[in-house]
Amino acid sequence: MLNRINYHRKQIDDSLIKKLLNHIYFVRTDNYKLISYGNKIYELFDILNDPNEMVNLIKIKSKIYEELKLILQTFLKNIKDKEKITKLVDINEKNLIKKAVKNITF
């Protein structure tokens, strides 16, 4: 976990803030995990060979990406109380996250 945190700290920019402030959903199989950040940013990882989720395989494994994306989108369309689930972080918490990310120093 520390490897993953340190990796992302080296790459902090607006995309990290966008990821943190979007609704994050994921679907996984025994081998792969697809993460959706508000349907704007997607990441696909081979969780067996890359347990720290460092290499995004979307371009390399496009067929698996499309299959998992369809499964995730179908699931999200069918969720009851989606509104309740997506409002877990209020505007004050979002502002605190933005401030904390911008204040990280190396």
d(CA 60, CA 76): 25
Beta sheet of 24-28, edge-to-edge order: 24-28, 32-37, 41-46
* Total-model pTM: 0.61
At 49 the pLDDT is: 96
Q: For the chain, what is the domain count?
A: 1
The CATH number linked to 75 is 3.30.1120.10
Q: Select from 23, 31, 24 the least CA-distant residue to 61.
A: 31
Q: How many CB atoms lie within 10 A of CB 69?
A: 17
The pLDDT, as a whole number, for residue 32 is: 97
* Structural domain containing residue 87: 2-102
Mean pLDDT by groups of 10 residues along the chain of 106 residues: 58 57 82 87 94 93 96 82 62 76 66
